[in-house]
Amino acid sequence: MHTQVAILGGGPAGLLLAHLLHRQGVDSVVLERHPRDYVEQRIRAGVLEQGTVDLLIQAGVGERMQREGLRHEGIELLVDGRRHRIDLREYTDGSGVMVYGQHEVVKDLIAARLDSGAPLLFQARATRLEGLDGVAPRVHFEHEGQARTLDCDYVIGCDGFHGISRASVPDGVFTVFERIYPFAWLGVLADAAPANEELIYAHHPNGFALFSMRSPQITRLYLQCDPDEDLAQWPDERIWEELETRLSCNDGWRLNRGRILHKSVTPMRSFVTEPMQYGRLFLAGDAAHIVPPTGAKGMNLAVSDVRALALALQARYRDGDGDALAAYSRDCIKRVWRAEHFSWWMTSMLHRDEANTPFMDRLQRSQLDYVIDSPAATRTLAENYVGLPWR
């Protein structure tokens, strides 16, 4: 096989890049190691920044999102039983976010890819990359029980934190920055109508909690827990009791209970690889950076990466101009670190850290009060939450 761009990973980053390139007349092949039903059912975050929403609409894959997604123009901070609303629209000249599950975005992108007739191979596992530092990269992969090769001009690694792309680069090329957090999120999907129209971020002595939703019928909820938490120790009743404790409000608001459909524990880390490219390999999304989920930045940052890549590859093939490709990492990394800082800041401000001294606890509370009371601090949160403008 031969193509112009080989894309490793059929998640939102790889699929969106392939779609953008197809619209520009650039050929690509997408290799996804998992089956289609696994990819379409993989539960991930679902808060889309304003820029992500706009790009999906402009790219012609936002019709179902506009019809079924939940537009939000505010979020709430819950502290000491009191809810404080952050009006995103007021502080960002009209911007907001869209609650629309990542797996729903993936379904839309898969449908668009299949409709185009362009190659999308499921259960295609890349086994080796060669020629990344030359002019003719080659991807070795397995598909339908056969060993195959894919020759290309460029390889794009959208294959996640544990993928083969970053691991194929020689030692010493990348500098890695990482922070492992001493807590995780226990997340549940509940068959219950959301009891509030906007997300609620709760600071509580027992630990952080988040009220969210996936649809008018499904509530998404999170509890701060230990990274090695045993889900067997969390029967449904215990989960609901702890959620109601941490999300209790003095205005009488209460959760709607329902059958819990899914449970999982998500460890939390911050991770950045610099640079995000090597030779003819370019990393995007989780292959290059991980953020804690508190700031709702993971998929949005991946979208920003592939938007930049699509523009750079268009310039390369349409105009013969490779400057944007050469500058890809330099141009993306500033936004990456902004998202890393915002996610770390939200995480540090809202979670209970048992290693904190009383002094640090007081500083944490002071930061929360400042965000609630100061229009300048509120604007900072709102601007970052809806997503800063792209260059």
Q: pTM for this one? A: 0.95
Active site residue 385: yes
- List b or e across 132-156, with b for residues whose CB sees 16 or more CB atoms inside 10 angstroms: beeeebbbebebeeeeeebebbbbb
CA angle 338, 198, 67 (to 5 degrees): 95
Give dist(CA 188, CA 222) in Å, integer: 6
Closest CA to 13 of 288, 268, 269: 288
Which residue among the candidates 292, 297, 317, 328 is catalytic per the annotation? Answer: 297
The predicted pLDDT at position 308 comes to 97
Instruction: Give the model's pLDDT for residue 191.
Output: 97
Q: What is the pLDDT of residue 43?
A: 73
Strands 219-225 and 209-213: antiparallel
Of the residues 203, 293, 317, 328, only one is catalytic, namely 293
Among 12, 19, 22, 72, the one annotated catalytic: 72
Distance between start and end Cα atoms, the chain: 35
Of the candidates 380, 366, 385, the residue with the CA atom closest to the CA atom of residue 198: 385
- Structural domains in the chain, sorted by start: 5-71+97-177+269-347 (3.50.50.60)
Instruction: Please give the pLDDT value at position 154.
Output: 98
Among candidates 163, 146, 140, 145, which has minimal Cα distance to 10? 163
The answer to whether 143 is a known catalytic residue is no
Query: pLDDT in tens for each of the 391 residues of the chain?
Result: 999 999 999 999 999 999 999 999 999 999 999 999 999 988 777 899 999 999 999 999 999 999 999 999 999 999 999 999 999 999 998 999 999 989 999 999 999 999 999 999 999 999 999 999 988 999 999 999 999 999 999 999 999 999 999 999 999 999 999 999 999 999 999 999 999 999 999 999 999 999 999 889 999 999 999 999 999 999 999 999 999 999 999 999 999 999 999 999 999 999 999 999 999 999 999 999 999 999 999 999 999 999 999 999 999 999 999 999 999 999 999 999 999 999 999 999 999 998 889 999 999 999 999 999 999 999 999 999 999 988 7
Looking at residue 44, its pLDDT comes to 75
Out of 91, 100, 201, 222, pick the active-site residue.
201
Is 100 among the catalytic positions?
Answer: no
Match 């289609």 to its residue by tokens.
36
Question: How far is the C-alpha of 152 from the C-alpha of 2, rounded, in Å?
Answer: 6
